[in-house]
Amino acid sequence: MFEWITIAWMVIEAIVAIASGIAAHSITLTAFGLDSVIELISALVLIWRLSVELKHGREFSETAERRASKIGGGLLFALAAYVVLSATWSLWHGHGQDFSMPGLAVAVAAIPIMYFLAKRKISLAERIGSRALRADAVESITCGWLSCVVVVGLAAQYLVGTWWVDAVTCLGIVWFVVKEGREAWQGEECCDDCP
C-alpha cells in the first residue's frame, strides 16, 4: 500500500517539479523532480521484489532483495552525480534560478508526505528484514530533505535574489545521498540483524 501511495505522489511530484525546474532554470527543482522519478522507479522495483516473495517464498526472494537493494543504491548514486554536476555547472557559469510558485507548493506538500511514507517504510523494513525497502525509505527521507532544501532555496532566492543559492542549497544533501547509496549498494545497515 505504501509503495502504491508513493507511486501516485511521485508521479505528481515529478511532473510538477521537473516542469517547474525547467521553466525556472532551477537545478534544485529539477533534481527534486529527478529524485521523484528515482523514487518512482524504486517503488516499482519494491513492488516487484515483494511480489517475488509472495509468489516464491522468502529464500527465493533473497536474490530479488539483493538486486532491488543494488538498484536503489545505484539510483541514489545517480541522483548525487546529477546534483554535483548540475550545481558545479551552474556555479561555473553563474546561472541561477527564477522563482517558481508551483515548485514551492509541491516542495512544501512533499515534506509531510515523505515524512509519513519514510516512517512507515522503515518500520515495515525492520519487521520484514528488507534492505531494499529500507533503501526505498531512505529515498523518501532524501526526498523530504530535498523538499526542505527546495523550500529554503526558493524562499532565499525570492527574498534575497542571489543567483548562486540554488546550486549551493542543492549541494547540501549530497553527503546524505552518497552515504545511503553506499549502504544500500553494500547491503549494510538495518536488516542484517532483523528477524
Task: Tell me the one-letter amino acid at 114.
Answer: M
Give burial (CB, 10 Å; 0-12/13-18/19+) of 172.
Answer: middle
Task: State the pTM of this model.
Answer: 0.74
pLDDT (0 to 100) of residue 129 = 78
Per the model's pLDDT, the better-predicted residue between 31 and 148 turns out to be: 148
CA-to-CA distance for 73 and 85, rounded, in angstroms? 18
- Residue 126's alpha-carbon distances to 64, 99, 103, 118, in angstroms, are 17, 40, 33, 12
pLDDT exceeds cutoff 70 at 50: yes
Domains of the chain are 2-186 (1.20.1510.10)
Q: What is the mean pLDDT of residues 22-33?
A: 83
Per the model's pLDDT, the better-predicted residue between 64 and 172 turns out to be: 172
Q: pLDDT per residue over 76-115, tens digit each?
A: 898 889 889 888 888 888 776 778 899 999 999 999 999 9
Q: Could you tell me the three cell numbers for 175? A: 553527503
